[in-house]
Amino acid sequence: EAGVAQSPRYKIIEKRQSVAFWCNPISGHATLYWYQQILGQGPKLLIQFQNNGVVDDSQLPKDRFSAERLKGVDSTLKIQPAKLEDSAVYLCASSLQQAQETQYFGPGTRLLVL
Amino acid sequence: AQSVTQLDSQVPVFEEAPVELRCNYSSSVSVYLFWYVQYPNQGLQLLLKYLSGSTLVKGINGFEAEFNKSQTSFHLRKPSVHISDTAEYFCGYTGGFKTIFGAGTRLFVKA
């Protein structure tokens, strides 16, 4: 079974530029999560999708971050414009359903904002 | 308030010694608790999770955790560690559509 795929693996941009990350969850997984992991901290949930609907986006900085899940499968997370404090690893995870199901994580995208 | 506190940021231990990584949580709703491990340059992998039933949960690689409701704790233990257990360990929970992770504990196993 293929795991969660993410691209790119690394990205370096300058502040005020835009960037987008892509995630392909495990086939058949209805729930998709985006996390931000700043160096030295645990992952912080940014947004959770159930199929193509948003379940929770309370910690997503909506003035600069946006996310969508087209047709309930792939998802993209965008930052526009980026700030220095956005430097982090962006993790995507998926699960069969939500709540008590195991979340399977992708390798992450490491973003450096200069 | 919803939070997860991992009481030790780093735990150095000698090979074949026992280890305990401590985790306390706070939540106003019913939660399911978990521990994930992150090996160097790898993604997060589930070690174990507690939903209900027996408070002692066994996971992969010889790890186990005990849920203590009165102390709101979910400490992770292993009776004898190996060099290969060197990694970052994250405690957390899911409840009320929220998933919260602790800041992590870096376990460093020395020969």
Strands B73-78 and B32-38 turn out to be unpaired
Q: Predicted confidence band at B64 (pLDDT cuts at 50, 70, 90)?
A: very high
Q: Predicted confidence band at B31 (pLDDT cuts at 50, 70, 90)?
A: confident
CA distance A60 to A62: 6
Q: Which amino acid is at B60?
A: I
B1 pLDDT more than 90: no
- pLDDT above 70 coverage of chain B, percent: 100
B31 to A92, B50, B71, B96: CA distances (angstroms): 22, 9, 14, 8
Strand partners, B78: B19
Which one of A41, A48, A105 has the shortest CB-CB distance to B103? A41
The pLDDT, as a whole number, for residue A1 is: 66
- What is the nearest CA distance from B105 to chain A, expressed in angstroms? 10
List the CATH number of the domain containing B64.
Answer: 2.60.40.10
Look over chain A and give the mean of its residue pLDDT values, rounded to a whole number.
93
Give residue-wise pLDDT tens across range A49-90.
Answer: 998 899 999 999 999 999 999 888 999 999 999 999 999 999
B75 alpha carbon, distance to own chain's centre = 6
Say which residue the tokens 């087209």 belong to. Answer: A70
CA distance B106 to B38: 9
What are the φ and ψ backbone dihedral angles of B109, each rounded to 5 degrees? -100, 125
A9 pLDDT more than 90: yes
Among candidate residues A65, A75, A87, the one with its CA nearest the CA of residue A22: A75
- What is the count of structural domains for chain B? 1
CA distance A68 to A49: 9
Task: Copy the structure tokens of residue A75.
Answer: 């998802």
Among candidate residues A20, A4, A2, the one with its CA nearest the CA of residue A111: A20
- What is the nearest CA distance from A84 to chain B, expressed in angstroms? 21
Look over chain B and give the mean of its residue pLDDT values, rounded to a whole number.
93
The pLDDT, as a whole number, for residue B90 is: 98
Domain that holds residue B44: 3-110
B2 pLDDT more than 80: yes
For CA atoms A62, A23, B99, A98, the dihedral sign is positive
Residue B46 DSSP code:
E
Q: Which domains does chain A have, with CATH numbers?
A: 5-101 (2.60.40.10)
The pLDDT, as a whole number, for residue A100 is: 67
Q: Which amino acid is at B7?
A: L
The pLDDT, as a whole number, for residue B82 is: 97
The pLDDT, as a whole number, for residue A65 is: 97
Which residues of chain A neighbour B92 with C-beta distances below 8 Å?
42
Asked if A30 reaches chain B (Cβ–Cβ under 8 Å), the answer is no
The pLDDT, as a whole number, for residue A99 is: 64
